[in-house]
Amino acid sequence: MPKKISVMLVDDHSLVRRGFRRIIEDEADLEVVGEAGDGDEAVRLGVRLRPRVIVMDCALPGVSGLVATQRILETAPETAILMLSMHSEDTLVRQAMAAGARGYILKNAIDLELVDAIRRVAAGEKVLASQLTREPGLKGERGASLTARELEVLQYIVSGKSNKEIASQLKLSVNTVAVHRANIMDTLGIHKTAELVVYAIRHGLVSIP
């Protein structure tokens, strides 16, 4: 009998995870081996369990799904990460793929696409939601992607933290945080903090505090 595809579920709503589990466990070739409710737990469990596929919610409390994806793949590069999101904007899809996700599907189409997408990313394919007609381009304004550290700093900026507070939280120098802030703004083509906050929330790059 062929080995089952092991799947880990990451979502901060237990009811959502339960729904996903039911969909997945109806399939003979798939099995759920773990669940996580936030980004930190996702990283710990993902590295320990090393499932074939992680179904990762993009908007998680604390460490975002984008940052968790990058951290997991640093240790477990063989894991295929399937990103779930409410957002279809090119910016977020591009960030997810740059972080290492192998697939990106929208939550409003989950019943139709989840099982097929899990099988396809497990087989090494890249999967984009059917509503996303093309893979986002990598050129043009705001086309570059942010690093995991920059996404962490961005989350704190959106939460209203000062450079000094961010430095304390991340155990960095204030100067290093200032450099990260400048790089984020340069990458996204934004020059004011207020605009940066609006952009990050609108495009799903951070969890709303």
Judge whether 143 lies within some domain: no
- pTM across the whole model: 0.73
Average pLDDT over residues 104-111: 78
Assigned token pair, 121: 């990313």
Judge whether 101 lies within some domain: yes
Domain of residue 61 covers 5-128
**Nearest-angstrom CA–CA distance, 83 and 103:** 6
> Where does a domain end: 64, 98, 128?
128
Examine the domain organization and report whether 108 and 11 are in the same domain.
yes
Average pLDDT over residues 160-179: 91
Q: Domain total for the chain?
A: 2
139 has a pLDDT exceeding 80: no
Examine the domain organization and report whether 46 and 107 are in the same domain.
yes
Give the alpha-carbon dihedral of 84, 88, 90, 95, to 10 degrees: -20
Nearest to 56 by CA among 45, 71, 44, 66: 66
Output the pLDDT for position 111: 65
> Where does a domain end: 96, 128, 160?
128
Output the pLDDT for position 144: 59
- Percentage of the chain exceeding pLDDT 90: 48
The SS3 call for residue 85 is strand
Output the pLDDT for position 47: 94
The lowest-confidence range among 1-10, 73-82, 102-111, 150-159 is 102-111
Output the pLDDT for position 137: 45
Instruction: Please name the residue that has the structure tokens 């477990």.
Output: 76
Output the pLDDT for position 151: 86
